[in-house]
Structure 1
Amino acid sequence: MEALHTAIAIIGIIALIIVVKVDPVISLVIGCLYLGLATGLGMETTITTIADGFGSIMVEVGLLIGFGVLMGSLMFAMGALQRLVELLLRVLGPRRLPYAMSAVLTTIFPSIYVDVQLVLASPLARSAAPQLGRNGLGMMGGALSAGILVGYVFVVPGLGTVSIAGLLGVPLGTMLLYGVPIGLITAVLTTFIYGRVLRLGFWDPDKDEHASEALLEEEALAAERSNTADDDSAESAPRQVPLLVSLLPILVSLVMIATAAIADAAGADSEFLRFIGNPVLALFVGLLGAYLLARWSMGRARTDEALTKGFDTTGQILLITGVGGSLGAVIAATGLDKVLEDLFSAESGTPVVVSILLAWFVAALLHLAIGSISVAAITAAGILAPIMGELDVPAAIIGLAIGAGALFALQVNSNFFWMFQTLLGVSTRGALKALTFVTALASVVSLPMIIALSLVV
């Protein structure tokens, strides 16, 4: 019954948001209440779980979101990201930009926490979107989805990849050898296929794009400053910061996080590196750098104005993200993973292809129910690890299949979904297309390659 009630809760939330047009926060809380009461958690435990889930997700991403959004707001106000987009467009051209972004995010940045990647990359995607025409925001959103999340489950040292490898006893070198080509091809091919789907009229800007007022006001303010800069007096005109210097807040943050993650993956246990590479500290250092640059180039008044807009956007994102974490906590409390363990633990001695499809299905079902890629991947690996000796397929292949399944159809019960919707400035319907559809597509696209790989290793 847990699976049935979970399905009813998720379908109900989607219906409330899309059909009845109920605010996502209210819809998510209604879904949490129904699921907790319907599965027998009880009134007090349901409320406690909702509160605990909100608090838990805030512990993980609250400061990351706050620092990242504020840093992005300051850098947007300084024009740093816009100038970077202009440079990328000149070098790559608008048609190549989405593919370049998905490839780079998949192969180079899996060490960076996915929420951090989204916070840092979303302003770039929004700035580049107008250059790609009517489907620009949809295309850039899909490229971010494929790039960030494919790397997360396939490429070392992505958290999902490392977790799966550890539970199944797969050497990280083996996962890296198999995961990099699978991840790169999956990300680029998914972006290509999604682009062709967009050409068929899949994206409707009028219905699929819906930026928050805070985000629109922030961009309008930056555009106004850009248009009026020539009319300002020399005394009040902003100082021009070199592009490389203006990007240092982001670059320093990324280097700090990546250094510790790579060192950890290499087995270099260092308290200092863990401290320096902590994402919270790294983003705070970036925020501090952006603040100092903004004060020097724009003055105190304009800097404070940009921060105020950033605070407005942060509050909206934190509330939706926290309630998304509440739904995940309620689902976890129902014990759905135990039901799946009982259902599949007896499956052994199956053909290679069936074993791969089974691993994919378990992870996909868990992800649809729980809403967390990492939790789904870890739970699926934990379920299948005891029967690995009975399966006639390498553990690395099963690990890749689990990663592909855990990627499937990221949707409304994930905090990442609501962050994506708000930061990209798309409606819930738009996020279902640029994120849910794209992750489902990437999950399916990777399966034939994983099966083909199993035939040669």
Structure 2
Amino acid sequence: MEDWQILTITGVAILAIVVLIIRFKVNPVLALVLGAAFLGLATGLGANTTTETIMQGFADIMFEVGLLIGWGVLMGALLNEMGAIRRLVDKLMHVFGPKGIPYALGLTIGTALQSIFLDVLLVMSAPLARRIAPRLGKYGTAKIATAMAISLECGIVLMVPGVATVALAGLLSVPLGEMLIFGLLVIIPTIVTSIFIMNFFITRGLWKIDKDQQPFEEAEEPSDGNGAQGSLAQTPRDQTTPNDDGGSGHVRVAAPAKTGVETSGREPGLFVMFAPMLLSLVLIGTGAILKMVNFSSPVMDFLSTPVISLLIGLVGTGIVARMTIGTPRVEKAIARGFSESGQILLLTGAGGSLAAIVATSGMGDILGQYFTASTVAPLVVVWAIAAVLHIAVGSVSISAITAAGILAPVAPAMGLNPVLIALAAGAGSLFLVHATSNTFWLLQSLLGQTTRGTLKSCSLGVSVASVMALGFTLVLSLFL
């Protein structure tokens, strides 16, 4: 088959996936598998090879990241149940004060809290952020909303153990420790510079208080049982919003539940709550560093293996949780974590199936012929593909995984480090978060913004972060 035919068929397959999700409201998992099947048959792979490749692609990425995603989501569910987020945000405000809190909160959410499912993290932290906003001055709502939007979205695709980050690492066979280290090198400056740029324009006329935010009405909620107050802002008790997993349905968003720790004993310190998770990340990072310097130790090789490191973090978090909130609540949190991880795993696996078909069809060899020895061209292309897909579909996970899968076969031919493709795909998938995203509507309702205001804080803010992340990835490519 001619190259132009394969390119055309691949483009039609990607377009068909987008149409199925947006126009016909087909679940993204089904749409990805249907698109992969069409691509395989249309490019002449045959029925047997197509089905075997789809299953093998699913199996390969589950082999790489299945348990990792599961451990991360379960760990986040336990931290959420313990009320760790509420205490952490209050601590950050106390330590960094009004001027530093947007940066401190952004970096914390974007890095340390990525084991927590995004919607859960947002629903738990938004009321606290709303309470903090008036202390930041005239543009407090705009600054805190922008910081949260940027950090929440960046963390999903750039930071381990963010679910899309782990999926990208598995799809491109990037060691998770390497993804963690280079992801940190990109996400930290991305969050800081993006918040700085947005705050500069917010205070210089971009934000119109009377049009971009709703009146702040204090309505103090009862104490959570440990002296901590609930949100000071009235938020809708129930709202229907587009689903972030591709806009293929609707989800019912309940108001934040109380997260106070109901114990009769002594409550552990904040560091103790997060210590197991931090230990797992340290082990993963240490393993990557030791590998870079060609040092090998059987004990460290075992402990720094991502699946073991995150398992250690999960077990440790579970022990702390049992001591803090009791076994019944731990079991409920675990059950919710399993429920949340199911769709994530299926979506990740379906993305792996599509990527496998793309590679088998010869798409990678064709694209490799059109790129020079420069690493810039393929990175910009993967960023652009992810950006276009995200604008159309509205899911950072789908757009990042699909874009990375298309360009993954180029990496070996170009001598391009696959971690750069993962970071570029993640950066592109952040571009123009808008009305098809569940996060967009949650940020609007929970932080007291109008739709116009959310377009500025979320859509524009995260788009700035998308461009900055690409820039820092290109800089990183000079050294890899």
How far residue 277 of structure 1 moved from its aligned partner, in angstroms, is 0.7
Aligned residue pairs, count: 389
How far residue 239 of structure 1 moved from its aligned partner, in angstroms, is 4.8
**Aligned with residue 56 of structure 2, among 52, 56, 61:** 52
In structure 2, the CA distance between the partners of 1:245 and 1:95, relative to structure 1 (3 Å rule), is same
How far residue 96 of structure 1 moved from its aligned partner, in angstroms, is 4.4
In structure 2, the CA distance between the partners of 1:256 and 1:139, relative to structure 1 (3 Å rule), is same
The separation in 1 between residues aligned to 2:461 and 2:41, in whole angstroms, is 30
How far residue 125 of structure 1 moved from its aligned partner, in angstroms, is 5.2
Partner residue in 1 for 2:260: 226
**Aligned with residue 31 of structure 1, among 35, 39, 43:** 35
Amino acid in the other structure paired with 2:353: S
Partner residue in 2 for 1:112: none
Contact 1:99–1:188 (8 Å) recurs in 2: yes
Q: TM-score, normalised by structure 1?
A: 0.66
Q: Secondary structure at the match of 1:22?
A: coil
The separation in 2 between residues aligned to 1:366 and 1:12, in whole angstroms, is 15
Aligned 1:52-451 pairs, distance under 5 A: 52-93=56-97, 96-97=100-101, 99-100=103-104, 118-120=114-116, 122=118, 124=121, 126-133=123-130, 139-146=147-154, 185-193=189-197, 207=241, 220=257, 223=258, 226=260, 229=262, 237=264, 239-344=266-371, 347=372, 355=374, 357-358=376-377, 360-361=379-380, 364=383, 371=401, 379-385=409-415, 405-410=424-429, 437=463, 440-446=466-472
Correspondence 1:40 to 2:44: yes
In structure 2, the CA distance between the partners of 1:199 and 1:270, relative to structure 1 (3 Å rule), is farther
Contact 2:194–2:461 (8 Å) recurs in 1: no
How far residue 60 of structure 1 moved from its aligned partner, in angstroms, is 1.2
The separation in 2 between residues aligned to 1:304 and 1:400, in whole angstroms, is 36
The separation in 1 between residues aligned to 2:323 and 2:356, in whole angstroms, is 44
Contact 2:103–2:147 (8 Å) recurs in 1: no
The separation in 2 between residues aligned to 1:443 and 1:121, in whole angstroms, is 22
How far residue 262 of structure 1 moved from its aligned partner, in angstroms, is 1.9
Contact 1:239–1:298 (8 Å) recurs in 2: no
Q: Secondary structure at the match of 2:294?
A: coil
The separation in 1 between residues aligned to 2:75 and 2:379, in whole angstroms, is 38
Contact 1:377–1:406 (8 Å) recurs in 2: no
Any idea what the Cα deviations from partners look like across 1:360-401, whole Å, max 9, x if unmatched?
44554787899378777875554344xxxxxxxxx9xx9998
Of all paired residues, the percent bearing the same amino acid is: 32
Contact 1:257–1:279 (8 Å) recurs in 2: yes
**Aligned with residue 16 of structure 1, among 12, 16, 20:** 20
The separation in 1 between residues aligned to 2:193 and 2:6, in whole angstroms, is 36
How far residue 11 of structure 1 moved from its aligned partner, in angstroms, is 2.6
Contact 2:13–2:36 (8 Å) recurs in 1: yes
Unaligned stretches of 5+ in structure 1?
110-115, 153-157, 166-171, 230-235, 349-354, 386-394, 413-419
In structure 2, the CA distance between the partners of 1:239 and 1:151, relative to structure 1 (3 Å rule), is closer
In structure 2, the CA distance between the partners of 1:59 and 1:382, relative to structure 1 (3 Å rule), is closer
Q: Secondary structure at the match of 1:371?
A: helix
Contact 1:62–1:318 (8 Å) recurs in 2: yes
In structure 2, the CA distance between the partners of 1:293 and 1:434, relative to structure 1 (3 Å rule), is farther
Q: Which has the higher helix share?
A: 1
The separation in 1 between residues aligned to 2:420 and 2:323, in whole angstroms, is 50
The separation in 2 between residues aligned to 1:53 and 1:278, in whole angstroms, is 22
Partner residue in 2 for 1:390: none
Contact 1:410–1:440 (8 Å) recurs in 2: yes
Contact 1:364–1:376 (8 Å) recurs in 2: no
Any idea what the Cα deviations from partners look like across 1:337-367, whole Å, max 9, x if unmatched?
10022233xx58xxxxxx5753544554787
In structure 2, the CA distance between the partners of 1:425 and 1:321, relative to structure 1 (3 Å rule), is farther
Q: Secondary structure at the match of 1:119?
A: coil
How far residue 102 of structure 1 moved from its aligned partner, in angstroms, is 5.9
How far residue 83 of structure 1 moved from its aligned partner, in angstroms, is 1.2
Contact 2:68–2:307 (8 Å) recurs in 1: yes
The separation in 2 between residues aligned to 1:13 and 1:304, in whole angstroms, is 38
Q: TM-score, normalised by structure 2?
A: 0.63
Contact 2:13–2:35 (8 Å) recurs in 1: yes
Any idea what the Cα deviations from partners look like across 1:120-173, whole Å, max 9, x if unmatched?
584655533334457767753432444675679xxxxx998xx999xxxxxx9x
